Structure 1
Amino acid sequence: MPGTLLSVNVGRATTAAKTGAPEGLTGIDKRPVEGPVAVSAPGPRGVGGSGLAGDAIGDTRHHGGDDQAVYVYAREDLEHWAGELGRPLTNGVFGENLTTEGIDVGDVRVGEQWRVGAELLLEATSPRIPCATFADWLGERGWVKRFAGGRRPGAYFRVLRPGPISPGDRIEVVHRPDHEVSVAFAFRAQLGEPELRPRVLAAGAALHGELFARATEWAEAAAEPTER
């Protein structure tokens, strides 16, 4: 069944105590906007930032770029964490660009394609790996470990076809690969279940470029004969 785009969230660059940006900036504080918001491929990491017009990326060495142009998180997963943390969580508070409803974002497979609204076409590339900036922003002690254990990473997407989007737009899955590598699977492989790593390469070139390189190494290492 199709999902719904609940909110489109963009952030302004602000200073942060923990960020990899030389200027000490982060764009994690994202707030819902009315739209329409133009979405397009921003360019390679280090050059391009966010895929959403008007959205800031503070640390372009580690965030943003074509393979992380759009970050998506489900309202259902925000509600889970709201219950765990005992506090309300607004759309955009996890730094997500798109807050969705009606789609299991953790089950999105790498290479899965979504049409959002009438024109925008996205392709899933990887899970979000938590960082110190995320933990500092939420103000939750031990957050990186806790988020990793929760296995609700959200998904990064690249832009295959640009287009404008607005809250309330329909989200339609137009292509779903037949491999097993969901973003939650890739997340588990990277954080805590290394036995899954050789299988990540099944997602192929749709993987985020850096994850593809690591997955290739994992698969090659697994194929090497063991010494007796």
Structure 2
Amino acid sequence: MKLLSLNLGRAEVSEHTSQPERVTGIDKRPVDGPVRVAAPGPKGVGASGVAGDAVCDTRHHGGDHQAVYAFAREDLDDWERELGRPLASGTFGENFTTEGLDVSGAKIGERWRIGSAVVLEVTSGRIPCSTFQGHLGEKGWVRRFTRKGAPGAYLRVIEPGETRAGDPIEIVHRPDHEVTVAFQFRAVTTERELLPRLLAAGDALHPEAIERARTYMAQQS
């Protein structure tokens, strides 16, 4: 398992974003590194956890629980075949394109060591938005991506440090519960009846998912 590509975005004007300044950093491009990874601060204040990476809409992106976004190269390859077009690493707006790692099968709270210093913890799956759809230029993309159920993972920074493309990835902790990234994604999108089961993941779960689960449970009582 390794970090195949380390990708950074810069702020660019886009008609597809609802961000007031009409800019987005979703178009990320590979860099060699090394690049520092550190906790950026709370959502709404902090942006990307990857130095040099632009996160423009801090209402919905960035912050400590979405400090890094990872997507598997194997899933990009699958989308290449399905869409009939090449998809470079970083095309889905991911900071880390991994190889040999089942990203959407990772468990919430699972920890990865990347290189010798950085440790990250899985918090949630990525929810697709209109900016993502506009960036890809695929009609009905949000629905299609949701139906696929392989969203990639957001991670928070446990131990900061520098990393670069080619660094090995090691799973150093895997929790004993059922809540994978794909499970969490289905619960907050298409299978809301799963929401109560998300709480088994504990405090590692993204706070917004915890809130959704608790609200759902209150509505059912």
TM class by shorter-chain length?
over 0.9
**Mapping 1:1-228, distance limit 5 Å:** 3-222=1-220, 224=221
Work out whether residues 41 and 158 of structure 1, in 8 Å CA contact, stay in contact via their aligned partners in 2. Answer: yes
TM-score, normalised on structure 1? 0.95
CA distance in 1, matches of 2:77, 2:190: 24
Task: Count residues with an aligned counterpart.
Answer: 221
CA distance in 1, matches of 2:175, 2:8: 30
- What are the ranges of 5 or more consecutive residues in structure 1 without an aligned counterpart? none
- What are the ranges of 5 or more consecutive residues in structure 2 without an aligned counterpart? none
Which amino acid counterpart does residue 179 of structure 1 have in structure 2?
H
Work out whether residues 188 and 212 of structure 2, in 8 Å CA contact, stay in contact via their aligned partners in 1. Answer: no
Spell out, residue by residue over 1:99-129, the C-alpha distance to the aligned partner (whole angstroms, 9 max, x if none): 0000111110110000000010100000000
Larger Rg: 1
Displacement of 1:217 in angstroms is 2.2
CA distance in 2, matches of 1:99, 1:7: 5
Spell out, residue by residue over 1:30-76, the C-alpha distance to the aligned partner (whole angstroms, 9 max, x if none): 00001000000000111110001000011011100000000000000
CA distance in 2, matches of 1:20, 1:203: 32
TM-score, normalised on structure 2? 0.98
Percent identity (aligned): 61
Work out whether residues 188 and 209 of structure 2, in 8 Å CA contact, stay in contact via their aligned partners in 1. Answer: no
CA distance in 1, matches of 2:180, 2:214: 17
Displacement of 1:193 in angstroms is 1.3
Displacement of 1:194 in angstroms is 1.7
Displacement of 1:216 in angstroms is 2.1
CA distance in 1, matches of 2:74, 2:94: 14
Displacement of 1:221 in angstroms is 4.1
- Note the aligned Cα RMSD (angstroms): 0.9
Displacement of 1:192 in angstroms is 1.3
